[in-house]
Chains A and B, each alone.
Chain A
Amino acid sequence: MAYTIMIVDDSETIRAVLQRTLAMTKLPIESVVLAKNGVDALEKLKSCWVDIIFTDINMPEMDGITLFNTMSRHPEYKDIPVVIVSTEGSATRIAELRSKGIKGYLRKPFTPENIRDIIIETLGEWE
Chain B
Amino acid sequence: MAAILENAKQTISRILSDAAFIFTDNLDESARPTNESWDAEGVSLQFFGTPAGELHMWVSKGFACYAAANMLGLDDNSDEAGKKGIDALKELLNMIVGNFITSVYGDTPVFDLGLPKDLDREAMAADFTKTNTIWLEAEGNPILFTIDIHDK
Contact = CB atoms under 8 A, between A and B. Distances in A.
Nearest to A11: B91
A85 to B, nearest CB: 11
Interface stretch (A27-35, A46-54, A68-76, A86-94): A86-94
B73 interface: yes
A90 B71 contact: no
Given A87-B99, A88-B98, A13 B111 contact: no
A14 B101 CA distance: 21
A58 B111 contact: no
Interface in B70-110: 71-73, 84, 87-88, 90-91, 94-95, 97-99, 101-102, 107-110
B15 A58 contact: no
A88 to B, nearest CB: 5
B119 interface: no
Interface string A1-25: 0000000001111101100100000
Interface string A73-101: 00000000000001111111100100000
Interface string A100-115: 0000000111000000
A109 B102 contact: no
Interface in A54-74: 58, 60
A86 B97 CA distance: 11
Contacts, number: 67
Interface residues of A, number: 22
Assign chain B's interface to a size class.
20 to 34
Contacts of A20: 72-73
A87 B71 contact: no
- Where chain A touches its partner, the secondary structure class is mixed
A35 B86 CA distance: 20
A60 B115 contact: yes
B68 A58 contact: no
B94 A108 contact: yes
B95 A87 contact: yes
B114 interface: yes
B27 interface: no
Given A12-B84, A88-B113, A89-B98, 7 more contacts: A10-B115, A87-B94, A89-B99, A92-B109, A108-B94, A108-B95, A109-B18
Q: Which 7 A-B pairs have the closest CB atoms?
A: A87-B98, A89-B102, A109-B19, A91-B107, A13-B87, A13-B88, A109-B18
Interface of B: 15, 18-19, 68, 71-73, 84, 87-88, 90-91, 94-95, 97-99, 101-102, 107-115
